Amino acid sequence: MTNTTETSTTPRGELALQTLTMPKDTNANGDIFGGWLVSQMDLAAGIMTKRVVQGRSATVAIKDVVFLLPVSVGAIVSCYTDIVKIGNTSLQIAVEVWINNTRNSKGRQKAAEGLFVFVALDEQGKPQPIPH
């Protein structure tokens, strides 16, 4: 787990996923569709969950997603994850999306954040304890 007192210019947690935005992922304004961004965040949290659970898991809740900046086509999208809590069968992962927009020279900026809750599942798809 990461020290949350770090400055807002520093991503929280570790890099779990990095990708490039494409024209097919735009909304009616020509910016990147929020649902696409949430999908990347879910994948990033899923990758982190896989490392902990080492088996089947599923997203049970997505909380407090906030879109802070528009994301343009051609931006590098980096999803950082930080485990907030490991419960009995669930774990909560804070996800931050940072972008490098090619259209401006502002460097790395936080574009979105949210809390993703995953549940470890057995072969029958029922919750099972996470090994600590």
Ligand X SMILES: CC(C)(COP(=O)(O)OP(=O)(O)OC[C@H]1O[C@@H](n2cnc3c(N)ncnc32)[C@H](O)[C@@H]1OP(=O)(O)O)[C@@H](O)C(=O)NCCC(=O)NCCS
Query: Residues interacting with ligand X, by CB under 6 A?
Result: 58-61, 87-90, 117, 119, 125, 127
Residue ranges of the alpha helices (H) in 9-129? 34-53
Nearest to 57 by CA among 112, 131, 107, 111: 131
Sheet containing 108-120, strands listed edge to edge, beginning at the edge strand earlier in sequence: 14-20, 76-86, 90-100, 108-120, 57-67
| CB of 120 closer than 8 Å to CB of 57 | yes
| C-beta nearest to ligand X: residue | 87
CB-nearer residue toward ligand X: 17 or 119: 119
Nearest to 18 by CA among 67, 56, 75: 75
CB-nearer residue toward ligand X: 87 or 107: 87
Q: How far is the CB of 8 from ligand X (least distance, A)?
A: 26
Q: How far is the CB of 96 from ligand X (least distance, A)?
A: 19
CB-nearer residue toward ligand X: 3 or 64: 64
Q: How far is the CB of 122 from ligand X (least distance, A)?
A: 10
Nearest to 107 by CA among 27, 5, 9: 9
Q: How far is the CB of 57 from ligand X (least distance, A)?
A: 9
CB-nearer residue toward ligand X: 49 or 101: 49
